[in-house]
Amino acid sequence: MSHAERRRRGGVEPRLSRWPSQDASFYIKLERDFAEAIAASELVPQDITRVCLNLFRNGFYAANKRQKEGNEPKFKPTLKVSTKDLSDAVGVRVPDNGIVIAPKIKDKLFQPFFTTKPTGEGTGLGLSISYNIVTQEHGGTITVDSQIGEFAEFTVRLRRAYGATIAEAAS
Ligand SMILES: Nc1ncnc2c1ncn2[C@@H]1O[C@H](COP(=O)(O)OP(=O)(O)O)[C@@H](O)[C@H]1O
Ligand SMILES: [Mg+2]
């Protein structure tokens, strides 16, 4: 990607509608809680979009799986996306109420090719690619939190001034 394409942007709104629907019976509630008037940040939009899509896809899968297990008639699959202005950084949280992440695999999630999904459904690359984009390319952090029976939540933190460093390095 050319450096001209690195644009100053306040937000990334992936086009979820372009996703092919693999399972017409699946329904999920999407909640958005975006910080008002969040100041612009420098980032690589295509790559951060990719990170968001990886997190959404995993959240959808986890919520779908919990619903398919079928023990909870009142269960409503939900994925939430929230953004927060942290002054020197921007925080993005993506919690879902799907299947939980066992504590013993928590440290492995970001490793390349780690997957708990059957062949054909998972490559184990989504989180490792996301990790590289966030940490190496943007100097940010990506972490996971999971509470048994409650939620799995991924948090991305992007430093606001990091894009300036990229641009300087390129010139
Ligand atoms: N939201 C989530 N809820 C539960 N488990 C998750 C979630 N996101 C990721 N995981 C776990 O992390 C693993 C690795 O994720 P990822 O790198 O995206 O690969 P893949 O989705 O191809 O398996 C998944 O197989 C799953 O076990
Ligand atoms: Mg994935």
Flag whether 17 is in a domain. Answer: no
Q: Which domain holds residue 126?
A: 29-35+42-170
Between CA 146 and CA 171 the distance in angstroms is: 42
Residue 12 has pLDDT above 90, yes or no: no
Flag whether 78 is in a domain. Answer: yes
* List of E strands, 17-168: 29-33, 41-42, 78-85, 89-96, 141-147, 151-159
Give the tens place of pLDDT for each residue, 32-84. 999 988 888 889 999 999 999 999 999 999 999 999 998 899 999 999 999 99
Give the tens place of pLDDT for each residue, 122-146. 999 999 999 999 999 999 999 999 8
**Distance (Å) from CA 34 to ligand 1 centroid:** 24
pLDDT at position 171, please? 58
Flag whether 149 is in a domain. Answer: yes
Tell me the pLDDT band of 25, cut-offs 50, 70 and 90.
confident
Flag whether 143 is in a domain. Answer: yes
pLDDT at position 10, please? 39
pLDDT at position 135, please? 96
Q: 35 by DSSP, 3-state: which? A: coil
**Distance (Å) from CA 115 to ligand 1 centroid:** 6
pLDDT at position 51, please? 98
Between CA 167 and CA 165 the distance in angstroms is: 5
Give the tens place of pLDDT for each residue, 108-121. 999 999 999 999 99
Tell me the pLDDT band of 92, cut-offs 50, 70 and 90.
very high
Residue nearest to atom 1 of ligand 1 (CA): 59
Pocket of ligand 1 (CB under 6 A): 54, 58-59, 62, 96, 98-99, 101, 109, 114-117, 122-128, 152
The CATH number covering residue 126 comes to: 3.30.565.10
Tell me the pLDDT band of 161, cut-offs 50, 70 and 90.
confident
**Distance (Å) from CA 71 to ligand 2 centroid:** 24
pLDDT at position 156, please? 97
Give the total number of structural domains in the chain: 1
Flag whether 2 is in a domain. Answer: no
Residue nearest to atom 10 of ligand 1 (CA): 58
Flag whether 94 is in a domain. Answer: yes
